[in-house]
Structure 1
């Protein structure tokens, strides 16, 4: 009998503890009624194996109506177990299960196994004929090895078998099927290693069920394993059984090393293994580099076909990394790979891939060569992929003092430090640039002043820099200067100037073909439209951004920022579930690029958690965000105000008003007064949020007059800045304060105006707020009636504006008063009233009100 590898042997025979420690929901129940042949693995038997997680998110994906399911991932990603779990969910469906792991890889053998599984003999019809007449069932091919002939035969079966017959194929390599065709036909569900990997939440859930003698961080375990199920299982098993007491590192675990040797490395050709030893030390790998290292243009394709744990990096289209445990294992086994990496660095430098050459030079390490490559990096390259992260890591490795002695690299270093929020170091390098390039010095100084909270100074310096850059035709720096001036204008509350500058910048970007800079300016446009109260336009601009970014080389930095902004807009428009998904993905990409805007995602998510009463998770998110910013050396002026305001809001949700009040006072001191800072450029409405929270604190103390005064000031400032979204929110908050003071008539008018603005702006989260319910406003019936109460068939639906007018008519307001409340002309209100009467088929305002209430359009 063939000997089991050490890791597999221990996992099979020593892991009884796992069964005892796991919650019953983690175990797969047995399922009778599944056909079995000699070469089949019966799910009844396998389901009793310990240590198997039930994964609802993946089972839901497989539960779709698509009849072909393909699980394609390297060894140890739980494909077979997921297939068994899925089979148990089909209680009345016959299952044909073929275990092909150790079977001969040929079409004839596959047909033979099919025949045995279907109980066919020599006199029976062929496998093809039997399956063509099988109306119901699930066929599982576990351990399928793609070959051209077998792939073609299987596709033939897919095409000619009944659509009610379902297929599930587990394989380590992607078959040569016409996958695109099946996906477009909506008949194929494809799950790869990224989908099958354990998430951090799943690892936390797993660890919570185990009784280990040592504390294990789920975050660290996920980082070491990249969610590799076999590695995590073996590592935890060894920690429990005492096999791996000296080390807590997964890649040094003897069981994991043995598993990698037996399941991955021994199956590779020698030339591939030789290439792996080299690229394990490489910071990235792509097609051209593999061709250079292996002298084989198809080297990367061969590696990918072998499924050697290659992963695409976030925000990049063509760069890959080795699976983390395998990479660390190979690095320790083969520590000296400097000569081939040095040759690769030289080749990349000559090919113009300067960021990549810089990373290779530091991997060798060769600081001098790295600085030469850094000096050749163009500013736009900082926005590509994860290049900002790579540059900041390189700066940390080299040290800022060393870089200052090499003036050719100062420009890209200064830009990288500014983008990364490391303002003190950026200020040092910008001062050194003044002697050799005064125009660039001015442009960078404007950006620095904006980040430091001095928007007026940034605007003054930026205008001067823009004029000098235009005379010298330095287009790239001009575009970035336009973006800086746009954000400075917004921070100072000048929407009109911001819009004009943004248009100039985006036109210049388009004329010069600078796609990434155009994307950067579209993000500025999104912020302008949001503050102006045009939420649908802001979301449309983000859609345009997505389409444009696809045409370029990809940017984790820009894409992450766009997703976080989209998440916030989705919350404003009342789409919380979609918002969470966008925020989580945006946080991942922003962290991959080391973009300080990453702090906004946990801040927003923390507010959502607090709204749901989960204060512990909310506080943990903010603490994690603060630690992240500290580890990146981000200046506090960039993120401190945002996190403090979110902290105050969470404390208020938990009824800790005094603590929140003290924190808010400190925040407002920074952004008020003669020498106050301007808000962060990504959060120009920060002053408004601070004011809203302070007004709520005052109301909690019964100081309604002070709250009224504060909100009046906020409203006047927002109206002066043309921040219409803040105007709407301020009117809504002011209506509640006025109501609490007892002036119901004025509260109704304010709330009606706020509701009308919220409808036109798309702020559906405001319309769904509890304040509207508390006041019993009939305006609530406007947006709700469209969804909940359908009028009689003979009645034409009223528009949202007509519903707003009708609700005020019902309260007895005149046309002139309605016009003032809704910011319309009296003639427009009169026209709306005529349309309402016509649609409701009535002849007077009184009859219109009665008819609307009868139809459920008004409460």
Structure 2
């Protein structure tokens, strides 16, 4: 019905550029769909979609909601309207693409207008859009030609000089369908009698289409007809590709003749290089090719596959190899290119190719079965891995028995089998077996496999960390760095560096972590890799080090550089870690609302990935900010989720967060005895793992709890042990997790004549950090209500306002004097004051009294 022509003409009349995306079957891969859509938008607005492209490269992302959110936010900032055209949307069948587009439509900003050109109603909620007057529909009946329009087309435009009754008959027979009318006009030009021709065909669109196209094609010269039939295998084509497929050196001239003859040739670019046939026309051409030349189809596809591969279009090459029906050729081309598509995040494309290969072939080839395992692993479909792992294992054992594998092949396949077994063991919470399998893989993997070596040592480190062997993880990361650097594998080297730094911080090796980051960043700069995307890992790691040292400005500089560098590379874990770090930096500056916003945004990413560990990680990162904000209900809810995911995965990282955060919540709820019991168990685990960095945080909290319970001697002992662990390394940030109540304990320690002189510079740094964190950054804006005050703190500020002393308040509320001192210190920090007089004045200013 001329859908595309209508839209193109309307846009031309408006004189307004549009982001135009012509869709095909390959665009059912969500990554490819969003990549091409963003590219179409960037042809008009280069600044739109930079971060969205990074997001879609995340292979674990099952939902594209976040991509839509990112585009919505950026498009809404444009000063004028943006028109997006999705042409031939009926070719899209993937539910993920429909869901992503539905979200975009449901939340589209007022300046975004989306035009769908489709033969059938799309799988989106049209009823809801109609109900909200957000939909304009142009249906087939709207596109049908009137008698007057048909007369203009046939007589004025195509110069047929038909009588009115002939025009009326053609209009009736074609049901006013413009494609049918155009085909009829082409057919009429070769007829001796218009009346006879018009009377010979009736019926629906498909009959008209088949009849008229055959009528058109039968009158073409043999060379032109053969050219069109053979090029109908191509979704898109240019003259050089047509030369290879058809063997016709005059393909460029042939294309020009077809274009001039109005034979439904559609240009795909403004340079007149790439074309495609109208989809309806192409379908009939291909049907005739199957009918007239069935024996040529395989070789035509294989020629196209070879050309696309030579020209750097491996996706189309694999597609044509599969369409050829020659599965041996298709298998070879798939094995050459599948890994690069996984690296780009096009997991759905790889899975589609695998589904097209015969089951018996996949069952006999361990490389194909392992490719299926990796694609499922990267799309978080681990529950589906077992079947394909069994196939790979059986095929491998058979080939070994036959002696068909070289020693290198044997080692590579066996190592991958062990890595996949490690993944399944980890998912079942069996971290000991997970470690054992990856350790086996390190022995089996050929050392000249560049990416394989980096991957296996990275997996070993992660497996050891999951089992709670943090020192072993550090050693594995160190080995991975050395091997990856020796082979020039920067992604492996820098990814392992990030992991090593994170566990060094847990283990109390802050100075080593600082030195490693600094030397790695310097080396990257010297070797010209400063802006290589993987280098972003190094800057984000350094940002975390700077935060631990209390250097917030330095942390922000490295974080900003790290995210800028890492985003184009699609390193989702780096970007996610950067988001968490951004939230903690915002909280450190007292901007709790900004921190909460970051966590809310990150929730969309994590929920879309639907992975228990990542959900636990999110909650573990979020709870400290909830506690700092005094949002105890939210903290309880998130702690419940963290506990649930910790028990489900048995992952040491989640258990570490749980053991640290559960006592903190109990402390915030003034359940000090319970908090101390839980905390002592956590300290026992930290000592057993030699996690001195974590121990600093736990001991600071223990001192706070003991002080609240009135045991000042044990509180001082805990403080001193934490000082001894942190002084040489310079840990700052971990102390602040205890809250404002830690400051008077540190000040008492400073004033104690028995405190070793070596601790005093460190104590001064800690007290300066406390002042910045609990006084300067918490200073409320004038007239702003401090929502962070808990109900108990509000009770206490009311009693302070009535002139009660601390002992009187303790008696009134039936709590210890130390508890009141702790609450009072928290109140001072939140109100940004230093004394009772200032607290009363500030509370009155805020209408609390």
TM-score by length of 2: 0.48
TM-score by length of 1: 0.48
Question: Which one has the largest radius of gyration?
Answer: 2
